[in-house]
Structure 1
Amino acid sequence: LLKIQLERDSDFFRFLLDELARATALHDVEQKKFSETVQSLGDELCQMTATNKNDMYTWREIFKLYIEAAIFQDIDMTKDPAKESRKRLEKFKDNLLDRLLESNFVLKESKSILKHFLVINYKLIDFQHFQNLNRMAITKILKKHDKKSGLSATEEFSAFIKGNVVFVDGILLSLCQAVQTKLITIVPQPDEFTCPVCFYLAWKPVRLKCTHLFCARCLIKAKKNNITNCFICRSENAIPEATAGNLDTTLSKFMKLNFPQEIEEKERDNAAER
């Protein structure tokens, strides 16, 4: 029976755990800094978009391109995720240049925010790279240790690795989500507020008793054509029972603030149909 002295192995694991603890502490500090930076940038962006509508529309186009770029989504984590994310980010930057979006900004603050936004994404990629390097390093170290000692530390540590923030991909996704919720949602996309009948902005939004939302113009047309049930859930008599009280005034104010050009276009179309 082969006997192995474990004193050195215990020292090895103690040292490894200490280093992981330090890495975790560093990770927590950096994550907090990142969240604070995103929040601060979000506050600046919110103030800026309220000041200048031209810049707001430019930001809307930028964020639409950013969402389409899917810089951190659907990436094969078994390869080099940071390399792929960096490639997508560079392509996103090229799209900004091709469309001259930065030059469309009126306020210099917008240009500064855009630079900070790109820096945040590069930091996310660095974080992604850090995670991947740590995952690879710990796996190689343990495999080498197993080979020399005859132990199976790689298997024993696998559960620990899955739960440690230094390795968990979900932490990266949560940081990406912070960018989405604290920055991108500040400049909402009109697609999120379309009428399901005309597929355009649901201006003068009417919320039926079933809670489904439509633009007033489409409901007026529905009444003229004797359509009574909700277009979506078929709630009976939902359309004829709608009154002025069904107008969502809160959403109307929100639309006026965020979609002035779309509202103007919709009202021109409505006037042309009369």
Structure 2
Amino acid sequence: MSRRVEGFKGFWVWILVLFISLVLHGLPKTYQNKIASLGRTVFFSPFLWIDSQYDILRDNLAKLIRAERELARAKLEIQSLTEAKIENQRLRRLLEFKENTDYDLVLAEVVGRKVGRFPSTVVIDRGSADGVARGMPVITPDGVVGKIKSAGVNSSVVQILLDPSIRISAIDQRSRVNGIVRSPDGVHLVMEQVPVGEDVAPGDRIVTSGYGGVFPPGLLIGYVSEVSEPEGSMFKKIEVQPAAKLNRFEEVFVLVEIPQDSIFGERTKNGGSR
């Protein structure tokens, strides 16, 4: 039954289409053209709208991509300018430090670093051709870094202050108490051989004493961070916070010549040699 109904409907649809065709065919040419134009407009308008929207979307996407590229380029420029500003400030500080010291200094850049949070050695880009030799002190404007372990022609290995084999004769700048600064574990600094009862307090500046002939007197090593007197011990336990940033410096100074009068003057001030 349903098939007969559907067939019947289809028949009348064809009759209607045929009737419309005959009517349109009988119309004047002008009306036929107008109706054809209207039909094309109605039929193609959705496709034309989709095409225009696609063009708009494509143009907006292109603008977005250009904007993102310009933003990324601007970020890189800002980063470069920021890095350049930081570098200029750092180099200006190095220059001011060199101009305000009596020591003969050679500026060097770190070009290699031993892997680890607290490296014991770094490599610098200055060597014997620049007057650098084994045993020379290495410092930054913040404080002592270490000393030259070995020197090649154009590069040298620096032994960092945290290397357990380094020992520096030191003095409490406030109380003039003498001791030895070293790192027992490659991580922390301590000041040893200070008898119980001596005047050393947290916050005191610990500087080189000039004894031993390697480091000139008065170079800042660090600050006392903790003081205790272990039971049964003859010596204080003194922990020292390094003044120099031993795990993230980029440039250093090598003291290639130490004025002897500064060493002798400091030793006389301290009351003779140890």
Short-chain TM bin: under 0.3
State the TM-score, normalized to the length of structure 1.
Answer: 0.21
1 or 2, which has the higher strand percentage? 2
The TM-score normalised by the length of structure 2 is: 0.21
Name the larger-Rg structure: 2
Name the structure with the higher helix share.
1
